[in-house]
Structure 1
Amino acid sequence: MIAYFGKCLLLVTIMFLGVLFGMQQANHGMLSMKGYHDPSLKGAFTLTDGKDNEKEASILGETVTAKDLVEKQKELEKVETFNMFSKAGKALSDTVTNTAQSMYEWIRDMNQ
């Protein structure tokens, strides 16, 4: 199951990168046809040097920096600290496991 999920994730990633590459090639082709640089035509994926020699990436016109990624990581860690559904699922699975185990022991004791 994990191998299947890994293959699917790899395939989706390759397809996404293919779409980005295709959009970049289409942008380059449009610039070549036009004959001059038009600032309204932006690339699908660009890397630039930002302030303080920090790398910035622009994906489909939205700028992403390392600081943004760190902030998102901290936000995800806060969200993961309290996951009600995870706790409820764990409690339910423990209850079902304990019930099944006690029923098994009860039936085993009755047969002896």
Structure 2
Amino acid sequence: MLKSVIIAALMLISVLTGMQLANNGIHKMKGYDDANFQNAVSIEESGNNISASILGNDISSHDIAAKKKRLEEISAFNFFSSMGKKLSDGITGASDKLIQLITD
């Protein structure tokens, strides 16, 4: 699972880097900057505020905090997650009893 997450993150970073390099190549070919072309990733720092933009979508720390809070509220009770945990506990208990029955 960890390998999959690391590989997916690496692929995402590679794609964004490739898009940025392609954008820079287009600027070099044209010879001038066009307002219609945007950077794939841009980070601007002004004082204590840091603002980031990925593919033209602005991201701020307030957005991230709100999304984190919403995810925590959604995760507070997930019916399928709780049913999966109960099922796995039941299967684990049954297999433990079966192994004890066989080995005794």
Task: Give the TM-score band, short-chain normalised.
Answer: 0.7 to 0.9
1:36-75 to structure 2, matched below 5 A, reads 36-49=32-45, 53-75=48-70
Mapped to 1, the partners of 2:101 and 2:13 lie a distance apart of 57
The CA RMSD over aligned residues, in Å, is 2.6
| Structure 2, gaps ≥5 residues long | none
Alpha-carbon offset, residue 13 of structure 1:
1.4
Which position in structure 2 is the counterpart of 1:77? Answer: 72
Say if 1:16 and 1:106 are closer, same or farther in 2 by CA, change over 3 A: closer
Mapped to 2, the partners of 1:13 and 1:56 lie a distance apart of 21
Work out which of the two has the higher radius of gyration on C-alpha atoms and give 1 or 2: 1
| Structure 1, gaps ≥5 residues long | 108-112
Once the two structures are aligned, what percentage of the paired residues are identical? Answer: 37
In the superposition, the TM-score normalised over structure 1's length comes to: 0.75
Letter in 2 for 1:58: S
Q: Deviations over 1:38-80 (max 9, x none)?
A: 1100010000136x64111111111101111000110011011
Say if 1:46 and 1:103 are closer, same or farther in 2 by CA, change over 3 A: closer
Alpha-carbon offset, residue 36 of structure 1:
1.3
In the superposition, the TM-score normalised over structure 2's length comes to: 0.80
Number of equivalenced pairs? 104
Mapped to 2, the partners of 1:9 and 1:90 lie a distance apart of 22
User: Larger helix proportion, structure 1 or 2?
Assistant: 1
